[in-house]
Amino acid sequence: MTSIKKSIERTGSVSGEDMLNSIKVKLRSEMEGNLGEVPQFMLKAEFVTIRPALLAHKDESRTMSEVLRDTILDERLRAKRNKSKPEKMLVAVTPDYVALVSRENGQVLQRIARHYVEEVCIDTKLQPPSLAFCHHNKRLGIDYINVFDVKSKYADPFELAIEETRSYNRSHRESKISTAALGLPERLIGTELGTFLGSRPVSKKTGNAACEAAVMALRRKNKNRNKGLLATIAVHSDSISYAETMSDDILFEGHIKDVTFVTVLDEGQPEEIFAFIESDDRLDTITCHLFLCEKGYADKICTFVSRALQQMRELQERKADDPFFPDTINMAPEPVTGLLGAAQVPRDDLSALKVLGAGQFGTVYMATLAQDDADEDQTVAVKMLRTESSNADADEFRYECEVMVQLQHTNVVKLVGVCFEHRPWLCVLEIMPYGDLRKVLQTCASKNLHLTLVERLNFIKQTLAGMEYIASQGFVHMDLAARNVLLGENNLTKIADFGIAHKVDPQTQKFRLTGHLRLAVRWMAPETLGGKRIYFSEKTDVYSFGVFMWEVFESGELPFGHLKSRAARDEIRAGLILSQPDDCPDDVFDFMLQAWHKEPEQRPSFSTFHDAISNIYAQELDKGPPRDVGAELNALLTQNMRRMSTKASVVRRKSGTRRISESAVKQRQFSSDLSTMREEDEEGEQSLAEQGMGFGVPDEDGDDAKVTRRNSPRHRTVSSSSATVEAAASAFSSNQLVRRESQDLDLSLFEQVDA
């Protein structure tokens, strides 16, 4: 701090200490509450834009500074062309963060851990001078470039103020195992910005007509012409995701194999619509996601998806039909000690059946775990850590496994075992076939399956039992939400995702947050959203549980969905709570209000909460039992899973259960094909096709996959089914051309979000 002051004074452009002190005095009360720390330095700036970037893929002939300078020029030209009005901001540098703060209302618009700030570039030749810095987003695996107009006198002091972060520059990448050295493709294929308009259920997996119908449905729904969210769309070799740009809240994340169609609507207009359709076999849903993009951007995203499908096929061939095969060539065995030492399971006993999805660390598979009696083989879910993951990701992956091995309860997802001796690391979990409860609730609403009170209370009661147990073991979950509660057969619910769970201090029964964590503000208690010292406890989890209850009664709607994350954060701190859902009885809503009490000490414990809800549930149960909600949504799912598991067991008995060498793997007579197990008997294939649902279903037109291209060089349509990616890759290579008329859509309904 002292050296920074002296350095600023030596520049002669500002009186360092006087400037720092005056800013601190003027903004101390406002900033300290929002940032939790007194800023070391602030500068006034006009925020031009934030752009996602592929800095890891940049041309090696250019330095990062040159990339930033080019971005400054491009974004200033774009802002001038679009007549964008810059937003007045303060850029505050604290010991731990770089924060972007609105000069109009003092809201913290974005907070970036300083060790993720990788490069600063200042161009004083421009008028006004411009400053750009890039930072890494660990969750999405991408970089952002922030561009500002500043006064010359602020430029050099800002660079000095974050000079100490230079030693951390790009540390997250330097710790990564080189993907090139392993012969693996880069995971991030491309990223772009778009305004997220919304998502709607559709009836078909392919076709512009389905996407146009979704646009019309959103138009009818959006009568108030609410602004969309500025979102970052990221396409990886195994997944597609999008997140709110300024807050990094992930809005959707799915496996690339679930994308059945992508297209550009209203092509050639100043603003185009990028649309993609994804199919969820577990819940038998088809959903179209829509984004408003600048001209040309939508087509770039379509190209990214095409490349992802191509890489997926290549990776499938490389893995020799076994994604769990250990990397014994590039890495020596790693010793496994501590809590996970006794949790090891033989990698040879795992056989992949189907891709379930993709997450932060890698692909999630449905698999079988061999038992001594083949008839007792266990169906499991396997989370993979990518071979090329950073050391930080590996630590987080290991930590979550260590937490889960300590928790054994009916309503907590069970850790079956781990495989950590070789990469890729595997985390083997009991399988919950219907996925996360939020999507289940949304699917019920879209299919007009009205849940009864006893069914909703059943989800709530079981989750309460799990949280009561977690609290009794001295843990705080810190990320309780419907998306982190999973649904199994017979309405069994289990709590998952312990990546940020922590042990509380035995004396205070609290956990003090001292580092940097990405937390979902819409579920957070107000006392955890600001201040010098932030503590989490059972009572903060109780607050989150109240929001979870609200989700259950509101069919998985986003809490405070009318607010952007940064506005929701400030409103929650000010005391805003959610309103009573229409289907929620007064006595149940009273418990939500207790959970949201401003004073943490006044909130009930999970034990008290559980007893009270159990009493209400018992009364409702007398009126009739709950249905099996998962089975109501997809009655054939469990049957198909059992068929696949049985098939794998038969194949294993024929080929032997132990993996002796890579050649032995290639001799297996079945293939996971990265998305579904190939049925070897024609009768089985015909049965699935006739059912029209479940795993491995072809598209309505009977084609597994296709890629078509309009006569326009920019307009591309990529289609694939969840059954296979080989046909998609083949069609992509052949560049099959198809003529199709473009339809202009009325976009006046949707308003572009200011950056």
Q: What is the pLDDT of residues 130-163, one digit of tens each?
A: 888 888 887 777 888 888 888 877 767 776 766 6
Secondary structure letter of residue 376 according to DSSP? G
Q: Would the CATH topology of 343-431 be identical to that of 435-640?
A: no
Fold of 188-321: PH-domain like (2.30.29)
What average pLDDT does range 542-549 have in this prediction?
99
3-state helix, strand, coil in the chain (%, to 5): 40, 25, 40
Contact between residue 511 and residue 536 where contact means Cβ atoms under 8 Å apart? yes
- Residue 383, marked binder: yes
How much is the pTM?
A: 0.68
H or E stretch including 150? strand 142-150
Radius of gyration of the chain (CA): 26
Q: Helices (H), strands (E): how many in the chain? A: 20, 27
| pLDDT at 398 (0 to 100) | 94
**Residue 648 above 90 pLDDT?**
no
Write down the pLDDT at residue 482.
98
pLDDT band at 287 (very low <50, low <70, confident <90, very high): very high
Q: Interhelix angle for 586-595 vs 538-553, to 10°? A: 150
Q: Which of 340, 488, 335, 444 is nearest to 400 (CA)?
A: 340
56 neighbors 64 (Cβ within 8 angstroms): no
Domain boundaries defined on the chain: 32-171, 188-321, 343-431, 435-640
Q: What percentage of the chain exceeds 70 in pLDDT?
A: 71
The yes-or-no verdict on residue 705 having pLDDT over 60 is no
Q: What is the pLDDT averaged over residues 692-699? A: 30
Dihedral angle computed from the Cα positions of residues 497, 499, 504 and 509, in that order, rounded to the nearest 10 degrees: -40
Q: What is the pLDDT of residue 669?
A: 31
- Cα within 13 Å of Cα(369), Cβ side: 21
pLDDT of residue 649: 64
The share of the chain scoring above pLDDT 90, in percent, equals: 41
32-171: which CATH topology? PH-domain like (2.30.29)
The answer to whether residues 293 and 233 touch, using CB atoms and an 8 Å cutoff, is: no
| Average pLDDT of the chain to the nearest whole number | 77
Say which range, 21-35, 259-273, 495-509, has the weakest mean pLDDT: 21-35
User: Of 735 and 261, which is predicted with more confidence?
Assistant: 261
What angle is formed at CA 327 by the lines to CA 325 and CA 330, rounded to 5 degrees? 165
pLDDT given at position 210: 95
At residue 224, the pLDDT reads 56
The C-alpha atoms of residue 682 and residue 704 are separated, in whole angstroms, by 16
Are 276 and 261 in contact, with CB atoms under 8 Å apart?
yes
The domain made up of 343-431 is a member of CATH 3.10.450.50 = no
Q: For domain 435-640, give the fold.
A: Transferase(Phosphotransferase); domain 1 (1.10.510)
Question: According to the per-residue pLDDT averaged within each range, which of 201-215, 246-260, 633-647, 674-688 is highest?
Answer: 201-215
More confidently predicted of 279 and 177: 279
